[in-house]
Amino acid sequence: MKQIIPFEKEITFKTTIGEITSISLENDLKFDAEDTIRGNFYVKGTYKMLSSSSMEEQYSYKIPCEINISDEYDALKATLDIDDFNYEISDNTLKLTIDLLVDNLTRKEQPSDRTIQEEQPIEESKPKDFEQELTKLTEEIKSPVIESQEQREPTPAKEYLSFKEEETYLTYSIYLVQEQDTLDSIMKKYQVSYEDLQQYNNLDNVMPATKLIIPNLK
């Protein structure tokens, strides 16, 4: 994951700035800790006090920098680079705008609510009158009530039986039609009928390089 971090700085010159004739930017930034970027930007070059002057003066400035990365990201394998760099002059002040590119950031995995709930201890609880319910259930098992054949009403079988349809999964193949192919040869090769192909494809104009969806009905 990439992240652009904008950095702005104003440098006031002690003399008049008529024109910046050259400028360069370097840095020694690095991750001082797992989520903190520390280091310096180095701006240097030449300028003229008057635009019409032929004399150039040199300048050089060291700009400390400290940037904290959000705790949501893991910067263990992250890299740093300058993505963009701009400047402008106003009232003998050099205004710098630096876009710092942080690459290879990874978002930390956050524990889900379900995981947190599973980690909490589960207190065992018994229903009210647990012993009485258990005794009652035991007595019912030992002494079942047996009804006569006349007393029992026939119950439809559907109340006793339930049927679960077997789940089936259909897979597909993508076939690129060749020049020598015909619909008959394709159907024979994949053992499908014309109706099966027609459900997934428009067969009105099948030409070479046409992609056909072939259902796997085996």
How far CA 23 is from CA of 42, 58, 76, 177, 191, in Å, comes to 10, 10, 33, 60, 72
Give me the tens of pLDDT residue by residue for the chain, a chain 218 residues long: 888 889 999 999 989 998 999 998 899 998 887 678 999 999 999 999 998 888 999 999 999 998 888 777 787 788 888 888 899 998 889 999 999 988 888 887 766 555 545 555 544 444 445 556 555 555 554 444 444 444 444 444 333 333 344 444 456 677 888 988 899 998 998 888 999 889 889 998 889 988 888 887 65
Q: What is the per-residue burial (b if ≥16 Cβ within 10 Å, else e) of 51-80? A: eeeeeeeebeeebebebebeeebbbeebeb
| Six-digit token string for 189 | 């090769």
Distance CA 117, CA 110 (A): 14
Residues in a beta bridge with 9: 96
* Tally of domains within the chain: 2
- Residue 39 within a domain: yes
- Same domain membership, residue 101 and residue 177: no
- Residue 116 within a domain: no
For the domain that residue 210 is a member of, what is the CATH number? 3.10.350.10
- Residue 132 within a domain: no
Distance CA 98, CA 103 (A): 16
The model scores a pTM over 0.75: no
- Same domain membership, residue 103 and residue 9: yes
- Residue 114 within a domain: no
Structural domain range at position 56? 3-107
Q: Which of 107, 142, 158 is the last residue of a domain?
A: 107
Q: Which of 88, 107, 126 is the last residue of a domain?
A: 107
Amino acid, single-letter form, for residue 79: T
